[in-house]
């Protein structure tokens, strides 16, 4: 093994590319294996394949540091598997990319010598690293895993929108080692990467590491569904406001402030898929998961609360123009995978409304899903022009800058439904405003009637 070790990242999707450039920008010799030729070319030309803050700058720096994407697996000391694990129809995860990456990697290691380490970063159900990846790598490489070749499950916790930051400053490292030596090798690498900012480390078995990742996402989703459930009650209790309730419980450090922002529900490429996979793991083990069921159930109905609010304020939505601000599943990303905006738009269209939408980054991706069903505006002001109602779906910072004047001078009907609590209702006097988790009795009081 060279010092510092050389790295190959297997799969340049979200986690793979962000991980690759984070390592390469710190001076490590990194290459990326990717089977999609178009992606390889685009990355090597310095253009990231998706939007993520800081990514373009880091990619440029990485390419200068010798990072290269390739359809071949470049020999390295440490291989990180970062391929996708999409949902199957039954809710379980499809391991075809894990299998093919393990196969390709095993093949490429057949004639190599020296001690190598393989790190499973993809989110995989318990047992996958040892029972699926290890036998394939072993069979294809002719090397004994745990002896000639190390294998560690090391789940990734980066968030879209802050992926680079999370990758460079993680709060913990979960090292699921099959044997001590592999864990030591990976920790040595992380020691060189993070130096005096070494995060907290938990060393455990691969199965526990795999479970930690699922339990982590499921717990956070439960926290959000919980506050969304409380928000729904707040809306019915005169004078109640979920923001205040969330602040009040969040200061209890046993609960914590994070992930208590009530909204129209959670989406994205990870939580929905991971919760379905976890649910399948429970079912397959014959264990009930009522909390998981409730977390998913709350999330199923949550987006439609916004449509209900629009109907309450406007009556029949048939023929009404509704502006939807925000299409990505959260701010600072162009990702619309399982975004709740798509479900809200679907429901609005079913009600006969005409939708005009705007998002600072996700227009192209939304267009691929929604096609000609809605109108695409080039700015938030254009989206609200002549609208009967404006629904805030994603808390992009630029939406918060829209002031009462923008609404007054552009909208036909002054109705704002704030799905993300972007506005201070006291500054929207004269407008009809409804928000997640805010009782309208209070709104009436603040706005002085109407
Ligand atoms: C999530 C986890 O936070 C990461 O740790 C994990 O690595 C990642 O999944 C993954 O498994 O790959 P991400 O999907 O990027 O990251 O998004 P989050 O920031 O966790 O948000 C998830 C959803 O919950 C979003 O739709 C967001 O709008 C919503 N949310 C989040 C709320 O509605 N309220 C909150 O208080 C927090």
Q: Which residues participate in catalysis according to the annotation? A: 270
- Residue 447, pLDDT > 50, answer no
- Ligand 1 atom at minimum distance from 395 CA: 28
Query: Largest Cα–Cα distance of the chain, in whole Å?
Result: 78
Contacting residues for 315 by C-beta, under 8 A, at least 6 apart = none
Residues having CB within 6 Å of any atom of ligand 1 = 123, 156-160, 217, 220, 224, 259-261, 263, 266-268, 270-271, 274, 329-330
Residue 277 has what pLDDT?
Answer: 97
Tokens of 344: 């809200």
Residue 114 has what pLDDT?
Answer: 72
What pLDDT digit, counting tens, does each position of 113-145 carry? 876 999 999 999 999 999 999 999 999 999 999
Alpha-carbon span 51 to 47, nearest angstrom: 10
- Residue 12, pLDDT > 70, answer yes
Percentage of the chain beyond pLDDT 90 is: 94
- Residue 448, pLDDT > 90, answer no
Q: What does each C-alpha distance from 45 to 55, 69, 400 come to in angstroms?
A: 14, 10, 35
DSSP state of 384: H
Q: What are phi and psi of 263, to 5 degrees?
A: -165, -160
What pLDDT digit, counting tens, does each position of 263-313 carry? 999 999 999 999 999 999 999 999 999 999 999 999 999 999 999 999 999
What pLDDT digit, counting tens, does each position of 234-263 carry? 999 999 999 999 999 999 999 999 999 999
- Residue 450, pLDDT > 80, answer no
Residue 426 has what pLDDT?
Answer: 87
- Residue 445, pLDDT > 50, answer no
Please give the angle made by the CA atoms of 384, 390 and 394, to the nearest 5 degrees.
Answer: 105
What pLDDT digit, counting tens, does each position of 176-195 carry? 999 999 999 999 999 999 99
What pLDDT digit, counting tens, does each position of 82-121 carry? 999 999 999 999 999 999 999 999 999 998 887 699 999 9
Tokens of 395: 């808390």
pTM: 0.95
Ligand 1 mutation target, pool 224, 245, 256, 344, most atoms within 8 A of CB: 224
How long a stretch of residues is the chain?
Answer: 450
Tokens of 104: 């390709």
Using DSSP's 3-state secondary structure scheme, residue 323 falls into: strand
Alpha-carbon span 340 to 15, nearest angstrom: 22
Alpha-carbon span 210 to 174, nearest angstrom: 9
What pLDDT digit, counting tens, does each position of 143-171 carry? 999 889 999 999 999 999 999 999 999 99
Please, how many CA atoms are within 13 Å of residue 306, restricted to the half-sphere of its CB? 35
Ligand 1 mutation target, pool 270, 275, 302, 392, most atoms within 8 A of CB: 270
Ligand 1 mutation target, pool 210, 220, 245, most atoms within 8 A of CB: 220
- Ligand 1 atom at minimum distance from 266 CA: 26
Please give the angle made by the CA atoms of 244, 247 and 251, to the nearest 5 degrees.
Answer: 150
Nearest CA to ligand 1 atom 8: 159
Nearest CA to ligand 1 atom 6: 157
Query: Per-residue DSSP letters for 150-184?
Result: EEEE------TTSHHHHHHS-SEEEEEESSHHHHH
Query: Per-residue DSSP letters for 213-280?
Result: HHHHHHHHHHHHHHHHHHHHHHTTSTT-BHHHHHHHHHTSTTT-STT----S---SSSHHHHHHHHHH
Alpha-carbon span 16 to 163, nearest angstrom: 11
- Residue 442, pLDDT > 50, answer no
- Residue 443, pLDDT > 90, answer no
The answer to whether the beta carbons of residues 422 and 435 sit under 8 Å apart is: no
Question: Cα–chain-centroid distance for residue 363?
Answer: 18
Termini Cα distance of the chain: 72
Contacting residues for 346 by C-beta, under 8 A, at least 6 apart = none
Provide the strand spans (E) within 76-115. 78-81
Residue 364 has what pLDDT?
Answer: 97
Alpha-carbon span 169 to 198, nearest angstrom: 8
What pLDDT digit, counting tens, does each position of 344-387 carry? 999 999 999 999 999 999 999 999 999 999 999 999 999 999 99
If you average pLDDT over every residue of the chain, what do you get?
95
The answer to whether the beta carbons of residues 388 and 319 sit under 8 Å apart is: no
CA–centroid distance, residue 434 to ligand 1 (Å): 24
Tokens of 356: 């005009």
């Amino acid at each position: 093994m060279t010092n510092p070790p050389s790295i190959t990242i297997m799969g340049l999707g979200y986690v793979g590319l962000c991980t690759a450039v984070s390592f390469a920008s710190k001076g490590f010799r990194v290459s990326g294996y990717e089977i999609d030729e178009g992606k390889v070319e685009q990355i090597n030309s310095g253009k990231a394949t998706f939007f993520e803050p800081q990514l373009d700058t880091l990619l440029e720096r990485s390419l200068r540091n010798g990072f290269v994407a390739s359809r071949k697996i470049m020999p390295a000391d440490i291989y990180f598997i970062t391929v996708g694990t999409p949902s199957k129809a039954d809710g379980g995860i499809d391991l075809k990319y894990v299998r093919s990456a393990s196969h390709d990697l095993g093949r490429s290691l057949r004639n190599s010598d020296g001690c190598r380490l393989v790190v499973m970063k993809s989110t995989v159900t318990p047992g996958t690293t040892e029972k699926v990846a290890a036998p394939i790598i072993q069979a294809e490489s002719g090397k004994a895993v745990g002896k000639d070749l190390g294998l560690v499950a090391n789940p990734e916790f980066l968030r879209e929108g802050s992926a680079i930051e999370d990758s460079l400053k993680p709060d913990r490292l979960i090292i699921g080692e099959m044997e001590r030596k592999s864990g030591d090798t990976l920790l040595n690498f992380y020691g060189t990467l993070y130096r005096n900012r070494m995060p907290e480390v938990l060393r455990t078995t691969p199965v526990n590491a795999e479970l930690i990742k699922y339990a982590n996402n499921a717990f956070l989703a439960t926290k959000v569904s919980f506050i969304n459930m409380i928000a729904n009650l707040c809306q019915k209790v005169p004078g109640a406001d979920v923001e205040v309730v969330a602040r009040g419980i969040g200061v209890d450090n046993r609960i914590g402030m994070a992930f208590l922002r009530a909204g129209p529900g959670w989406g994205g490429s990870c939580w929905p898929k991971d919760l379905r996979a976890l649910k399948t793991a429970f079912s397959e083990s014959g264990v009930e998961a009522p909390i998981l069921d409730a977390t998913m159930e709350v999330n199923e109905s949550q987006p439609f609360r916004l449509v209900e609010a629009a109907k309450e304020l406007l009556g029949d939505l048939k023929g009404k123009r509704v502006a939807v601000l925000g299409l990505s599943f959260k701010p600072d990303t162009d990702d619309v995978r399982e975004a709740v905006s798509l479900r809200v738009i679907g429901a609005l269209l079913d009600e006969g409304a005409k939708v005009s939408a705007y998002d600072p980054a996700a227009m192209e991706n939304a267009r691929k899903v929604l096609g000609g069903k809605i109108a695409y505006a080039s700015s938030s002001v254009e989206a609200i022009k002549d609208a009967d109602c404006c629904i805030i779906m994603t808390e992009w910072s630029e939406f918060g800058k829209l002031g009462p004047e923008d609404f007054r001078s552009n909208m036909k009907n002054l109705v704002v439904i704030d799905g993300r609590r972007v506005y201070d209702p006291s500054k929207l006097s004269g407008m009809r405003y409804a928000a997640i988790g805010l009782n309208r009795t209070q709104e009436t009081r603040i706005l002085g009637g109407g």
